[in-house]
Structure 1
């Protein structure tokens, strides 16, 4: 039933960021000095409201009549439940820390009012998705998230690469959103509603195949927002935006929206739909992890890591456990935001004091030995990296352990071949440990590879930057999610109310052993003569560029959107030359051969038959005419022959 008591919190949670957006946007540059504080205060107010009205044990719904189509009344509904409580707290908390961090990180930018206004629009959109009580309402805010992410990624609009990255994110997300909208329209057509409270009672009227199709269409929205294969190409390029924006997008807002959607529609996902989701999540998880191993940009490593971790969350949904997916989303929000903010601190520390276009402050080959210069950043980065790698006593270990456990339980029910999926998850966790060990060493250990650049003077970030990093690092410890550091079935997972909670004692051993093995492999690489092939990396990059093996990573100034179309045109050219032209040539040669065969038949069979008939008739006529010649002896011969034949006939008859 609608709950009028929750009209006020719904209005405040949506109204505060929306009004703050208009205030900062219309206030112009005169608000540059106070924009960060106003945005942070508005976000903290939303966080307080979220805690004040948190009631996870009870469902509260707020509804409004929007319009009438025929006999159908379309309502705008908002809901407060267990999922809402978790997401509101995470979104507001991370957004508040990101804005505090941005006050120093973005200091001196001439358009700070616009930056913080876009952050508030982004927050408004994400809160709308979290509060949505129907797929229709969610879709409205879903599109607003796409718009606000486009604005934030392309904030530095005077840079071509930044604008192209924003365009790429926008275009690829529209593809997924088209599938999402298709699923919503199908659901509305067959059930007459998109409300989360109404749909479960209507699904039994639909055929299983139709429910599967609708579920996969809705999953298309997740593929776009949460960067799943094959729509994952926008996520690494989104790093062209400001680093705090990357932290916000990757941690608790835009990319989390897809996982939140899957949690909301989990009751609609049939076994067949979950198999497809599982396959796509597995491909995304492995692809992101493998690409992170070969990347040198400090932010793009984390971007590919996010892509891989989102794939892991999708895999959890494929296992039939949206609860563990949300568990990992919560832990990932804190340690991934901490990693991005720490990466921003590193970039801030090694940025040349003078203009130096030859030095790239994001290239890890230009770093090394920063541990002593950035002790707080090093500590925060290491803690968050350990959580991402899944080491014991950190939050990531618990959430990954929960997903792996669910995977083995699912495989036990499905069959022997299904065990390959949880084993791939374990292997992917090992890859994560490898590339995070690689990144920590490249940034903070080894020789100081920036020492040849005189204008680089590493220094620790100000308190407004490292305090958010410290808080996020502290929240990456196990204690906030389970009092037992090796048992994922703690209070947080039970808070999500899983259908069943199991603990396989050997899963932590297997996961920890795999993680330590890959860390050891990374350590062996560290001790080699050319660790991680730093010296030969440039030649490899050039080789990749020559063969154009990965156009999704190319955001050059001249070739950006042309590359995929050129690749597609090349494939079509080969198809035309090898298939279509060959087929046409085959038809042409076949036609010539058939024409020769038909010509021979016409000359020798058709014309031959006609000529034979004419010849036979003419010969018979000539023979008959030869007998009718007026000579008596010829007539006697004919008569005797006839009599002889008649006698033979009578004799044998």
Structure 2
């Protein structure tokens, strides 16, 4: 198929959501009833276009000349390849289900047209990142994704918490984006292009130190968007937005952009850069997993889980296998979106019919025993949790097993200390199984604690909500990625990504499964305690990691990570947050100084010049008054001045 044939699908994939954004936004509240279905229909159309033009074995590019700076042309290039095919399918599919789900979940909203308009703009921005043929184009859409996340997280702008969370996400992402832009400018300076094809050929001409610096700067963009340490603080607070937005951000759009970027630029990453990346990924993975064991908000548990899983994907890239990172990104998109939508179903079920200020429908201490009231939601939550925990016969097991295997292969070449990384991955997988078992029990088993409010009457969600949950649960099963439930190397996905000889270690699935089962057993043992997970303890209401500290004595394997979590919290509070606050305050001070300078120096200089010219003009004009005496005075003064000048010279 000729390159020009891909101009139409590129325009359709980008144009449909962009035009939908303007139509829904400008259409006003009159479109509230049809906005969700119209948006879902256009997303389904985009999915169809992407599949019809899918030709993964051939690279297709579409180029437009944007501008010419001197003799240097700046191109907007788009590309269709293997990564594009998978990401377009995942993003459109998840966005389609999220929009259908939102029709019912947010039916009471007065500004529903605005919500779906922002969803379409979000989709447009993410598709732009996917289709980008160079880093400059990617950066343009990268910033649009940041804007969309700000708009959607702060959708309930009348409440202070969502606005604060949106601002925090925006500011922290700007820090990462500044590093990303620095890397792009360095590539322009040293190579003169950011096109992926040109970079793959020209990057060997640079010194290794420069390439390492460029790779780490570009990785800074991933640190912001994919919530890596130390810029991960925005992700849990993003839960202040609507639950379907959380599903979209955590599964297929914003946080996925960072991993997609690393997959695109993997050839730019030197061994030194990869080692830094694997260390950052490990720290993020552990912080997220440990924090998830202690929070009570049902959405925050999943948010910290996403943070941990993103760290795992980043580690995979650092270990030299972007393919397994992309594999886990794909499987994670389905089961994490399913978990968030299921969590939304639970929140929907326990939200009081009348306002009750003392009852929080997102606090798992106000749930329990919901298994029978929400049978479909329970099944979906159980399947997606099993995939996240890495149990056999689920997709998450295959992708985690692939990353752990790559970790041991990498460690065999790195040295003895290298084995720390795959061992920590297995340990983190055990923590994941632990906190997901805890969450399942707190929500669906045990006593019915929602009776604390007389206005709560749990009920199953309508079909338009549970059908997307069921579909996402269905795609969380192993069979879609490999017919062998214990080995991803025999499946189509790895070969589709071009992995010719994928690594496989026979004992890794056994060991990983053993760690998962032991962790689940420890969590089940805690459910038999007199006060399971300290759910009734007043001390558990204290912020921070108090719950983790309380049972870390019983489960000794958590004790070191309780300390790590405490230290990470202090680092975030006293260093990261302090830096952001100081940066914001100095920006305000600088703005006031610039304002004073503009008013008193720049404007003052202009006013002084105008005053001087006006005064001189007034003085000269006063002499031209029609009186002969004045003319004599001017003439005599001029003659005297001329004589003085001649005498002196």
TM-score (ref. length: structure 2): 0.84
Aligned residue in 1 for 2:522 = 521
* 1:542 CA drift (Å): 5.2
* 1:502 CA drift (Å): 1.8
* 1:565 CA drift (Å): 4.1
* 1:551 CA drift (Å): 7.4
SS across alignment from 1:197: helix
* 1:416 CA drift (Å): 1.1
Aligned residue in 1 for 2:84 = 84
Aligned residue in 1 for 2:35 = 35
* 1:538 CA drift (Å): 4.2
Aligned residue in 2 for 1:582 = none
- Which whole-Å CA distance do the structure 2 matches of 1:51 and 1:457 have between them? 43
Aligned residue in 2 for 1:49 = 49
Once structures 1 and 2 are overlaid, which stretch shifts more, 498-507 or 373-382? 498-507
Question: Is residue 535 from structure 1 mapped to residue 536 from structure 2 by the alignment?
Answer: yes
- Which whole-Å CA distance do the structure 1 matches of 2:542 and 2:125 have between them? 39
* 1:543 CA drift (Å): 7.6
Aligned residue in 1 for 2:137 = 137
Counterpart contact for 1:2–1:62, Cα < 8 Å: no
* 1:566 CA drift (Å): 8.7
- Which whole-Å CA distance do the structure 2 matches of 1:203 and 1:494 have between them? 27
Counterpart contact for 2:371–2:378, Cα < 8 Å: yes
* 1:108 CA drift (Å): 1.4
- Which whole-Å CA distance do the structure 2 matches of 1:439 and 1:266 have between them? 36
Counterpart contact for 2:389–2:516, Cα < 8 Å: yes
Counterpart contact for 2:291–2:545, Cα < 8 Å: no
TM-score (ref. length: structure 1): 0.84
Counterpart contact for 1:129–1:142, Cα < 8 Å: yes
SS across alignment from 1:450: helix
- Which whole-Å CA distance do the structure 1 matches of 2:293 and 2:432 have between them? 9
Aligned residue in 1 for 2:325 = 325
Counterpart contact for 2:259–2:326, Cα < 8 Å: yes
* 1:563 CA drift (Å): 11
| Shift in CA distance, 248/179, structure 1 to aligned 2, threshold 3 Å | same
5+ residue gaps, structure 1, are: 555-559, 570-653
Counterpart contact for 1:98–1:248, Cα < 8 Å: yes
Once structures 1 and 2 are overlaid, which stretch shifts more, 528-537 or 342-351? 528-537
- Which whole-Å CA distance do the structure 2 matches of 1:561 and 1:305 have between them? 21
SS across alignment from 1:451: helix
SS across alignment from 2:354: coil
* 1:390 CA drift (Å): 0.1
* 1:567 CA drift (Å): 13
Question: Is residue 94 from structure 1 mapped to residue 98 from structure 2 by the alignment?
Answer: no
* 1:71 CA drift (Å): 2.4
SS across alignment from 2:65: strand
5+ residue gaps, structure 2, are: 547-565, 586-649
Matches within 5 A, 1:7-406: 7-406=7-406
Let me know the Cα RMSD of the aligned residues. Answer: 2.0
Counterpart contact for 2:356–2:453, Cα < 8 Å: no
Counterpart contact for 1:169–1:234, Cα < 8 Å: yes
Q: How many residues align?
A: 563
Matches within 5 A, 1:374-453: 374-453=374-453
Aligned residue in 1 for 2:593 = none
Aligned residue in 1 for 2:607 = none
Aligned residue in 2 for 1:493 = 494
SS across alignment from 1:221: helix
* 1:544 CA drift (Å): 6.9
Aligned residue in 2 for 1:593 = none
Describe the superposition over 1:343-374 as per-residue Cα deviations: whole angstroms up to 9, x where unpaired. Answer: 00000000000000100000000000000000
| Shift in CA distance, 359/31, structure 1 to aligned 2, threshold 3 Å | same
Counterpart contact for 1:289–1:305, Cα < 8 Å: yes
SS across alignment from 2:476: coil
| Shift in CA distance, 568/77, structure 1 to aligned 2, threshold 3 Å | closer
* 1:187 CA drift (Å): 0.5
Structure with greater Cα Rg: 1
* 1:499 CA drift (Å): 5.2
Counterpart contact for 2:366–2:452, Cα < 8 Å: no
Describe the superposition over 1:53-107 as per-residue Cα deviations: whole angstroms up to 9, x where unpaired. Answer: 0000000000011111222211100000000000000000000000000000000
* 1:452 CA drift (Å): 2.9
| Shift in CA distance, 537/98, structure 1 to aligned 2, threshold 3 Å | farther
Aligned residue in 2 for 1:502 = 503
* 1:561 CA drift (Å): 7.8
Once structures 1 and 2 are overlaid, which stretch shifts more, 312-321 or 199-208? 199-208
* 1:562 CA drift (Å): 8.4
SS across alignment from 2:36: helix
* 1:564 CA drift (Å): 6.8
* 1:423 CA drift (Å): 0.4
